[in-house]
Amino acid sequence: MKLVRFGEPGAEKPGLIDGDGTLRDLSGEIADIIGATLDDDTLARLRGLDPASLPAVSGDPRIGPCVGSIGKFLCIGLNYSDHAAETGAKIPDHPILFFKANSAVVGPNDTVSMPRGSTHTDWEVELGVVIGKTAKYVSEADALDHVAGYCVINDVSERHFQSQLSGQWTKGKSCDTFGPTGPWLVTRDEVPDPQNLDMWLDVNGERRQTGNTKTMIFTVAQIIEHLSGLMTLHPGDVISTGTPPGVALGMENPVYLKVGDRMDVWIEGLGQQTQTVAEDA
């Protein structure tokens, strides 16, 4: 099941994409796609609906972030062996954790704003994991049972802010619009193996990133086990699980994003994002 939120920012409605690719309105069934509606019982009820019985959405509405009212936005750094190699980083012994501010979250096709003073804004296609059931001290074996579904995330990053402004990575990860999320939340029953998904990112039509989640250092299940041993994960929390090689930071002669650039971002079975970079207001 592909769940989606559509409409203007702050006024999104819940929907689903049917087998023919038609957007259907779910607002008669649930108020929104948020933590409170991501439990297994609610998802099972929605899965049992006949999509043809739901109103088709006309026109071409904006697609919002696929999860509303995100609780925690947790991110894992240096989690692909081939990405660590391109940046010359040591393989970590445990998942590297940082947070992205929720105010960075935007829809998958919304404009990405270049922060004032930015010279090193970079791209990162990442697999997003959305928690659907409270997780505390869960085992690796049981971890995926706590997942509602998966989505595409572009972990946009300002590298100078990240590494040169003192403090933690969060400074370079949390600028407004630096968290495009969606287009769909694909429920876990449609993603039998999150450790074998192809992923790509293009800049201005040129392929920059090509990867597969099989090169993750820490799997989705291992990440959930680790994080749930540190803090309780709640429904609606989002985990961004790291990026494969091909970021600007890893280039011999880095070429970072500039105003007017276009990013196209895909993960197998999870949909596509497209963002244009604009100057921040």
Does residue 178 contact residue 100 with C-beta atoms inside 8 Å? yes
Say whether pLDDT at 107 is over 90.
Answer: yes
Pairing of strands 271-279, 262-267: antiparallel
pLDDT tens for each residue of 14-53: 999 999 999 999 999 999 999 999 999 999 999 999 999 9
Contact 275, 154 (CB under 8 A): yes
> Is the pLDDT assigned to residue 210 strictly greater than 70?
yes
Task: Specify the pLDDT at position 165.
Answer: 67
E strand intervals along 101-143: 105-106, 112-114, 121-122, 125-131
Tokens of 155: 């972990």
C-alpha 85: how far from its chain's center? 23
Q: State the pTM of this model.
A: 0.96
In eight-state DSSP terms, residue 145 is: G
CA–CA distance from 110 to each of 2, 59, 183 (Å)? 20, 17, 11
- Other CB atoms within 10 Å distance of the CB of residue 136: 12
pLDDT at 168: 72
Least confident segment among 68-82, 141-155, 157-171, 215-229: 157-171
**pLDDT of 179-201, one tens digit each?**
999 999 999 999 999 999 999 99
How confident is the model over 260-269, as a mean pLDDT?
A: 98
Range from 76-85, 100-109, 195-204 carrying the lowest mean pLDDT: 76-85
Domain boundaries, the chain: 2-53, 73-279
What pLDDT score was predicted for residue 185? 98
Q: What is the CATH topology of the domain spanning 73-279?
A: Fumarylacetoacetate hydrolase; domain 2 (3.90.850)
- What is the SS3 assignment for 23? strand
